[in-house]
Amino acid sequence: MIEDIILEKIALTYFKFFNKKDLLGISELIAESSIYYDWITVYSGKPMIVDLFNQKFNEDQDQVWHIDDIAMNERRKVFAKLSVMFTDKSDINVVKVFGFNEENKINLIQAYKQ
């Protein structure tokens, strides 16, 4: 039960850093050997993922991620349903799935666009 709260809090902190465009904060949460999947491509390793987020922050400067729902399963995966709002294009709905290693670092981020 306590571990559930810790992992959900880490995921919530990830979104807080993402909305602030805080690359250093995000980097602290992600494991060196992490993997990021989205509906376009796959990125492997913390440096590539942080670089991807840096590009996203520069391209979509006015985006805000709002968490609609968050839950965890027994396999240390946190699921978050999000509304992503932009000032210059249509909003989208996204589901992000986070996996964690033994040190409670994010080692998997999967993003699915609705």
Residue range 53-86, pLDDT digits in tens: 999 888 866 788 899 999 999 899 999 999 998 8
| DSSP per-residue codes, 3-57 | HHHHHHHHHHHHHHHHHHT-HHHHHHHEEEEEEEE-SS-EEESHHHHHHHHHHHH
List, edge to edge, every strand of the sheet that includes 42-44.
Answer: 42-44, 30-37, 106-113, 92-100, 77-86, 63-72
Residue 90: pLDDT band (50, 70, 90) is confident
User: What are the residue boundaries of the structural domains of the chain, listed by start?
Assistant: 2-113
Greater model confidence, 29 or 58: 29
Mean pLDDT, the chain, whole residue set: 92
Contacts of 5 (CB under 8 A, 6+ apart): none
- Which CATH architecture fits 2-113? Roll (3.10)
Name 81's bridge partners: 69, 95
Residue 87: pLDDT band (50, 70, 90) is confident
Q: How far apart are CA 33 and CA 19, in angstroms?
A: 23
